[in-house]
Structure 1
Amino acid sequence: MESAALPRPTSPAGTSPLSHRIVLATGWSRAVLAFLAGACGALAMAPVGFFPAMVPSLTVAVWLIDGSDRATLSRSGARRHLWPTLRCAFGAGWWWGLGYFVAGLYWLGAAFLVDADKTAWLMPFGVLGLPAVLAVYMGLAFAVARAGWMAGTGRVAVLALALLITELLRGVLFTGFPWNDLGMALGTDLVLAQGAAIVGLHGLTALTVLIFATPATLADRRATAADGTPGRVVLLPTVLAAAALAGLAGFGALRLEQGHVGAVPGVKLRIMQPDVFGDGSFTYENRDALLHKYLALSDRATSDETGGLADVTHLIWPESPFPFILSRDPDAMDAIARALGKDGVLVTGAARVDGTPGSATHPPRYFNAIQVIGRQPGPDGGGAVGDTYDKVHLVPFGEYTPFMAVMERLGISQFVPIPGGFTPGQRHRLLHVPGLPPVVPAVCYEAIFSGGILPPEEARLDEGVILNVSDDGWFGHTAGPYQHLAQARLRAIEQGLPLIRAANTGISAIIDPYGRILEELPLGEAGVLDGFLPKTVAPTIFSEINKFIPIIVASLLLTHIFNMRYGIGRRRA
C-alpha cells in the first residue's frame, strides 16, 4: 500500500556535489559509505579522543537518511513507499552502527585469545557478532528519524531525539551495554566533559548529535534565483553549532580553572596494581606466591618520604585478585592483618561465596564483591571482613552465561570459571569503610552506567567517594582500558564526587570531582600509587535531577521539532 508522501529531505534548491553523491548512493556503495562513516566516529572515543571525527561521521549519517527514499526508487521511477524507505534508513543506520561498534569495540577480540585453545574460535562472534547486535539500535534510530524527517535544520533535531532514545534503550534492555555511548564524543575530552555536571551523559549525547550533525545543512541551499543561479549556502545553523561547542568549552575551562579541591584530612590512600593477568600465575597452586607478591608490592617504599604501609590509612586492591575465596582462608586473612597493622584498612575486590558445596538445601552461590578487611581487636587479632558489596550488574558471557544450558551444548561458556556463574547482588548500596566518607562501589563495568551507581534512595551525596575496582587485563594493551577509564571518570564529573580506581593491569588512578587525574599508574605496569583523597564539591545539577534530564532534553527537542514543522514562531512573527 502506498504511503502518504514522506517529508522531502532537503531544501528544494538542491545540494552540494558531495552530499548529492551520498544521497543518491545505493547498494553496496551506500553500505560501505555508512560503515566508514560510523568507523570514523569511533575516533572520538578514547584513547584517540578526536571529537571532530564526529563531524564527517554524523554529517554523512544525515545525508544517508536524506537519500533513504531515493535509494528505494525502482529504475522506472516508481512512487516511494513508506516501509521500503524506512527499511532503507534502517539499513543505513545498521551499517553505520556496525562500523562504529567494530572500530570502537575491536579490542573485545583480545579476551578470546587469553585461553585461545578453548575460545579463539568464538572470536568472530565477539568482534563482529556483538557489534552487529548493537548496530540494531542505530538502525532503529535512523528509521525512527526518517519517519519524522523534514527539511533544513529540523532533521538534525529529529536525529538527535531518535539517537537519544535508542542510546537510552541500549543502556537498559537485556541488562544494558552503554559502552561508548555517543555522548562520550564530548565526554572523553576533559574540558567539554564538564557539561556532564549539568546534563549528564545523555544530555551530552543529544548535544553531540546537534553540534556535529549540523554541518550537514551546509549542503542545503536557499531557493534558486530567477536566473537559475544556485541559492546561497545556509551558514547560520553551523555557525550556531560552532558557537554552542565554543560555549561548552568555555564553561568547561572556567569550571576547571575555578575548581579547587582540598584533601580529606587523615586519609592517605595507596592503590596496588599487581599486573598479574595472563602470565599463568593466577592459579590456586600459586596462592601463597600471589599473596606474598601483593603484600610485598603494597609495602614498597616509593620515596624517601614514604615508609611502605606504615603511614597508609587505606590500601586498595583491584577486582578479584585472588584465585581462592579470601574470606574463607584464615591464613591469608591473618597475613593481611599483620601487614595492615592496628589501624590500616584494606578495600579489595574478592569473590565471595554464600552456601555450602555439595549441599542440596543451601548450594553455593558466588558473588563478585568488594570487601573491607581490617584487624580484629586485641594484640593477636587476625583479619576480619567488615562491610561487603556484591556486584549487581554482571557482564553477560563474562560473569554469567544467558541461556546457560543451550550455550553449554554449543560449547560456549563464560570467561570467568565460576561454577554456574556469578550471582548478581540484590541492589546498589553504599559501602561503609572506616575512616572514609560514604563509598559508592562500582565493580568493573558498573562504572559505565550514567545515573546507575548510586542506591535508589540516595539521589545525591553531600560527601562521598566513588570506588571502581576492575580487571581490564582481558583486553591487553588495547583501547578497552582507556575507554573504561574515560567512562568511569565521567561518573565523577556527573556526581561531583572523587573517584578511586584500582585495576589489575591498569589504568589505576585517583581522580578529583572535576575529572582531573591527580595520580595515575599506566597500563601494564606493576606498582603502587600514593595520594590523598580529594574532597567532594557542591552537588551538581545532574546529581540533583539526573532522573529527569532525559525527559527534559527530549521535551526540548520535541518542542523544537514541532516548531520547525509547523512554524509556530514564524506565524507569530
Structure 2
Amino acid sequence: MAFLAGAFGALAMPPLGAWPALAVSFPVLVLLLDGAHGAGRMTSRLRAAGSVGWWFGFGYFLASLWWIGAAFLVEADVFGWLLPFAVIAMPAGLALFMALGAALAQLLWSRGPGRVFALAAGFTTSEWLRGHVLTGFPWNTFGYAVAQDPALMQSAALVGVYGLTFFALLLFSAPVLLLRPRRAALALAGGAALILVAAALWGEARLATHPAVPVDGVRLRIMQPNLAQDAKFAYGRSKDILARYLALSAQPSASYPQGLKDVTVLVWPESAFPFIYEREPWAAEAIAAALPANVTLVTGAVRYDTPPKGQVSPFFNAIRVIDHEGQVLASTDKVHLVPFGEYLPFQAALEELGLEQLTRVRGGFSSGAVLSTLSVPGLPLAAPLVCYEIIFPGKVIPPGPRPGLLLNVTNDAWFGSTPGPYQHFAQARLRAVEEGLPLVRAANTGLSAIVDPLGRIVAGSQLGEETLVDGWLPQPLKTVPAAATAGGLILICLILSGFVASQILSQPRFARRS
C-alpha cells in the first residue's frame, strides 16, 4: 500500500502536474503511519514507520524518475546493462530519506490532528537533507507539485520550494482528518483549505500587479537544434553540426525579419560543440563569418585547461562568450557536476575496473572552484548555470553584485521524450520566482524559454523540435523575494512550528475533540 500510494503521488509531478493526487497519496501515508504507531515500543514504531516511509519513497521515486534509464540507452552497447540497476538502485537509495522522514514524524506521532504537522515537519526535514547530503539531489521535492499552478507558484517567493514542500505535506494530508469529522479535525481541515485558497488569491493578485517589463536594448534569440544525443558528440560531424547551428540561428522570424541582424545576444545550449573550440580554428572563422557585428554568442562548450589543484581532468563543462570575430571574451565552468554522468566517485579506481561515466571523457570533468557571474556584452550581469546546477535552491546566485538574470544552458537529449525534461524545466522556472530574476534557458532538445521573475513564460519551445525562441529580456524585481534573502531561517521556523504544533494538538483535550 505504501508503494502504491507513493507511485500515485508521482502523478503530481510534471508533465502531468496533477497535484490533487497528493491529497490521496498523503492521507494513505498517514493511515499507514497510524498503524506503525501501534507497533509497541518506540524502537518497533520507528522501525515500522521507516519501513512505511521507505516503501512510499521507493514507489514515488520509481514512478517519477524511471526516465533516468533513457540515458543508458544512448549507447546501449556500452551502458545498457546498467539500466535496471540505475532505474531501481537510485529510487531505492533516495527512499532512505523518506524512511528517515517517517521515523522523525513517528517520534512525535499521535492519534490526534497533530500528526499531520508531525508528517509535514518530519518529511520537510528529510527532503532538505536529500537536497544537501553528499552532492545533493533535490529533484521532484514535493513543493514542485504546488508550483505547477502559476498563482500557487508565487508563494515560492515567500517560503521557497522547501517551504512549499512543508505546506504541500500539511495541506494535502489534511483530508485524512475528515475520516473522524469532529470539531478539532474539521477546524484543521477547513483551515488547510483556507490557506490553499488564500495562497491562490494572493498569487493571482501578485501576477496582476507585477507586469513583465522589458530590459531596453536586449533582443534575445535561443537556438534549439534538437540534435540527437548519439550525434551530438560525433567529432567526425563537427563541421556539419556547426553549419547546422549557424544556418538555424540566422533564419528570419516574425520577431526578427532580418534574422541575426535584429538580434543582440544569441544563446546556444550546453556542450554545443563536439570538439575543443581553441583547437579548431576553422570554427572561429565560421562563427566570425556568420555573426553580424551587433551579435554576441553565448554557448555551452567543453573547455580544455590545466586541472585545478586536487583534480586531474583538463576538461571543464563551461559556458563561453564569443564575439562576432570568433574570439572568446569570457568563460565560466560548471561547479556542481553530475555523479556518474560527468565524473565517477573514486574515478581512477573505477576506471581501472572498466567503468565509465556517461559522457565517456577519460578522467571525467573537473569542476570550477566557485560559481561566478558572467559578463556578456548586451546583457545585464548573468548567473551562469550549466544543466542541473539550477535545481539547487539557494545556490544559484554567485557571491558579489546581484545579477540581472539566470542563464541556464542544458542538454536534456539524454532523456528523450520522457518526463525528465519537463521536470527539469519546472525546477528552473521556480528558481526565477524564488530569486526574483528572469530566466534565459537554452536546451538542445527543449524546453528552451525566456521566463519572467514571476515564472511567466515570455517565449518558449516544445520538447523535441528544431526551433528558435525569440524575445525580450524581462527586468528583475526591484524587491528581492524573501525566499532569496531569508530562506533558511524561514524553513527552520516552519519545521519547528510543525513539531511544536504536533505536540500541542496531541494533548488529550484536542485528541478528544478530534
- The TM-score by the shorter chain falls in which range? over 0.9
Residues 493-531 of structure 1: per-residue CA shift (max 9 Å, x gap): 111111001000111011111101111111111121110
CA distance in structure 2 between the aligned counterparts of 1:144 and 1:412, rounded to whole angstroms: 37
Q: Which residue number in structure 2 is paired with residue 77 of structure 1?
A: none
Query: Does the alignment pair 1:214 with 2:157?
Result: no
Match of 1:312 among 263, 273, 291: 263
Separation in structure 2 between the aligned mates of residue 83 and residue 210 of structure 1, nearest angstrom = 25
Pick the aligned partner of 1:438 from 369, 381, 403: 381
Q: Go from structure 1 to structure 2 and tell me whether the alpha carbon gap of 1:397 and 1:364 turns closer, same or farther (over 3 Å shift).
A: closer
Equivalent pair of 2:314/2:366 in contact (CA under 8 Å)? yes
Cα 1:450–1:370 shift into 2, 3 Å = same
* Aligned position for 1:379: none
Alignment match of 1:114 (pick from 63, 71, 74) = 74
Note if contact 2:312-2:366 (Cα within 8 Å) is conserved in structure 1.
no
In the TM superposition, residue 219 of structure 1 has moved relative to its aligned partner by 2.1
Distance 1:221 1:303, change over 3 A: closer
Among all aligned residue pairs of Structure 1 and Structure 2, give the percentage whose two residues are the same amino acid: 47
Q: Give yes or no for contact 2:108–2:502 (8 Å, CA) kept in 1.
A: no
CA distance in 2, matches of 1:438, 1:145: 43
1:440 touches 1:453 (CA, 8 Å); kept in 2? yes
Residue 440 of structure 1 contacts residue 466 of structure 1 at CA under 8 Å; is this kept in 2? yes
Q: Which residue, out of 553, 559, 567, partners 2:494?
A: 553
- Provide the alpha-carbon RMSD of the alignment: 2.2
Deviation digits for residues 202-241 of structure 1 (CA, Å, limit 9, x no counterpart): 110100011001111122355xxxxxxxxx8942221111
**Corresponding position: 1:196 with 2:137:** no
More deviation in 547-556 or 532-541? Answer: 547-556
Separation in 1 of the partners of 2:226 and 2:62? 27
Q: Which segments of structure 1 move beyond 6 Å, counting only runs of 4 or more?
A: 567-570
**1:69, CA displacement in angstroms?**
3.9
Give 1:475's aligned amino acid: F
Return the alpha-carbon distance in structure 2 between the equivalents of residues 530 and 304 of structure 1.
7
Q: Which amino acid aligns with 2:485?
A: E
In structure 2, the residue corresponding to 1:272 is in which secondary structure?
strand
Query: What are the within-5 Å matches in structure 2 for residues 486-501 of structure 1?
Result: 486-501=426-441
Q: What is the CA–CA distance in structure 2 between the aligned matches of 1:488 and 1:47, rounded to whole Å?
A: 14
Is the 8 Å Cα contact of residues 374 and 384 (structure 2) preserved in structure 1?
Answer: yes
Q: Using the TM superposition, give the Cα deviation of residue 560 of structure 1 relative to its aligned residue in structure 2, in angstroms.
A: 2.2
8 Å contact from structure 1 (residues 51, 185) kept in 2: yes
Are 1:343 and 2:311 counterparts?
no
* 1:454 alignment partner in structure 2: 397
Which residue type is aligned with residue 122 of structure 2?
Answer: A
* Superposition deviation, residue 277 in structure 1: 2.0
CA distance in 1, matches of 2:331, 2:297: 12
Match of 1:352 in 2: 303
Matches within 5 A, 1:42-441: 42-70=10-38, 72=39, 80-220=40-180, 222=182, 234-278=185-229, 280=231, 282-303=233-254, 305-355=256-306, 365-375=314-324, 382-408=325-351, 411-441=354-384
CA distance, structure 2, for counterparts of residue 101 and residue 304 of structure 1: 41
Gaps of 5+ in 1: 1-32, 73-79, 223-231, 376-381
Cα pair 1:271 1:530 within 8 Å, conserved: yes
Unmatched tracts of structure 2, length 5 or more:
none
Inter-CA distance 268–102: structure 2 relative to 1 (3 Å threshold): same
One-letter amino acid of the counterpart of residue 106, structure 1: W
Paired residues of 2:255 and 2:471 also in contact (CA < 8 A):
no
Q: Is the 8 A contact 1:219 1:233 kept in 2?
A: no
Spell out, residue by residue over 1:161-200, the C-alpha distance to the aligned partner (whole angstroms, 9 max, x if none): 1111111111111100000011111122222111001111
Residue 109 of structure 2 contacts residue 502 of structure 2 at CA under 8 Å; is this kept in 1?
Answer: no
1:227 corresponds to which residue? none
Counterpart AA for 2:186: L
Structure 1 residues 548 and 328: alpha-carbon distance in aligned structure 2, compared to 1, 3 A threshold: farther
Q: Kindly tell me: are residues 565 and 362 of structure 1, through their superposed partners in 2, closer, same or farther at Cα, counting changes over 3 Å? A: closer
Distance (whole Å) between structure 2 residues aligned to residue 216 and residue 392 of structure 1: 43
Pair 1:454–1:304, CA change in 2 (3 A):
closer
Shift of 1:568: 11
Query: In the superposition, relative to structure 1, how do residues 62 and 364 fare at CA in structure 2: closer, same or farther (>3 Å)?
Result: closer
CA contact (8 A) 1:447 1:468 kept: yes
Larger relative contact order (Cα-Cα within 8 Å, sequence gap ≥ 6): 2
Q: 1:563 to 1:457 in 2, by over 3 A?
A: farther
Distance 1:354 1:335, change over 3 A: same
Distance 1:456 1:145 in 2: 36
Q: State the 1:89 CA deviation.
A: 0.7
Question: Helix, strand or coil for the counterpart of 1:370?
Answer: strand
Q: Secondary structure at the match of 1:548?
A: helix
The one-letter amino acid paired with 1:366 is F
TM-score, normalised with respect to structure 1: 0.85
CA contact (8 A) 1:327 1:385 kept: no
Contact 1:152 1:220 in 2 (8 A): no
| Aligned partner letter, 1:554 | I
Q: 1:301 corresponds to which letter in structure 2?
A: P
SS at match of 1:112: helix
- Identify the match of residue 534 of structure 1 among 465, 474, 477: 474
Give the one of 504, 507, 512 matched to 1:563.
504
* TM score, norm. by length of structure 2: 0.95
Q: Is the 8 A contact 1:218 1:233 kept in 2?
A: no
Q: Say which of 461, 470, 475 aligns to 2:410.
A: 470
| Aligned residue type for 2:496 | S
CA displacement at 1:315 relative to structure 2: 0.2
User: What amino acid is the match of 1:191?
Assistant: A
